[in-house]
Amino acid sequence: MRLIDDDETTIMRIVFLGAPGSGKGTQAQRLMADFSMVQISTGDLLRAAVSSGSAMGLKAKAAMDAGELVTDEIVLGIIRDRLQQGDVEQGFVLDGFPRNLAQAQALEEVLTEVGQPLDAVLLLNVDFEILMKRLTGRRTCSVTGKLLNIYFSDQAELDACTNAGGELVQRADDNEETIGNRLQVYRAQTEPLVDYYRGLTLLKTVDGEGAVDEVYGRIKSALGLSG
């Protein structure tokens, strides 16, 4: 499905803002599946770099394991490369980027240069206690790549992964110690972007608590999407 508005194709460029565990990745995957826009997750791109064993991946790994931010130089390099690929012309959801003011300003410059400004910044609001449970319970199916949660997903969904020969894999940084640090880093460095984007009149706030489908419905209505 394409995003249609008054018989013309509308391309949306969106940032998902929210603490680790607020559902950015899950919801971005839903938008990607239903509409022609790509999900760009700097976390996923960095994890791929770490797995590939590249020099850049090695540099990023220590910060990621500690729950700290990877340097702006590395992250901006990755984002600039990714934004040059043709598929972003379909619109995109940035998931996990920007994470501080310098990254937000750099993003604005890059997008202004290519004449593709952001349409909206969507903040997913989730209570701290729920974030902890979402993060400690989070798993990815090794076969389908589907994001699951041992506390919240249906047993049938969890079984579907294992029945397909997959394993429920926990991210290396989803342990309690690292999670605490990631949430602190969010508060100190990323949360100021809420005011920044409010000032640019791009911010839309959505209640990120409840079932995935419910939250997805709220996101679509906040973005004026139907279907």
Min. distance of Cβ 132 from ligand AMP in angstroms?
14
* Of 156, 126, 150, 154, nearest in space to 138 by CA: 150
Q: Is 39 in the site for ligand AMP (CB under 6 A)?
A: no
Catalytic residue among 24, 30, 61, 220: 24
**Other Cβ atoms within 10 Å of 213 Cβ, number:** 8
Among 18, 67, 91, 208, which residue interacts with ligand AMP (rule: CB under 6 A)? 67
CB 186 within 8 A of CB 178: no
Cβ within 8 Å of residue 92, ≥6 positions away: 13, 14, 37, 38, 39, 40, 83
Contact between 46 and ligand AMP by CB under 6 A: the answer reads yes
- Catalytic status, residue 99: yes
- Judged by CB under 6 A, the chain residues 83 through 122 that form the site for ligand AMP are 96-97, 99, 103
| Cα–Cα distance for residue pair 212/219, rounded to 1 Å | 10
Angle at 92 between CA 91 and CA 94, to 5 degrees: 160
* Under rule CB under 6 A, residue 134 binds ligand AMP: no
Q: With binding defined as CB under 6 A, does residue 64 bind ligand AMP?
A: yes
Asked about 138 being catalytic, the answer comes back as yes
Whether the ω angle into residue 98 lies within 30 degrees of 0, i.e. cis, is yes
Q: Which of 30, 99, 204, 218 is catalytic?
A: 99
Report if residue 193 touches ligand AMP, rule: CB under 6 A.
Answer: no
**Catalytic residue set:** 24, 99, 138, 171, 182
Q: Which residues contribute to the site for ligand AMP (CB under 6 A)?
A: 20, 42-43, 46, 63-64, 67-70, 75, 96-97, 99, 103, 173, 182
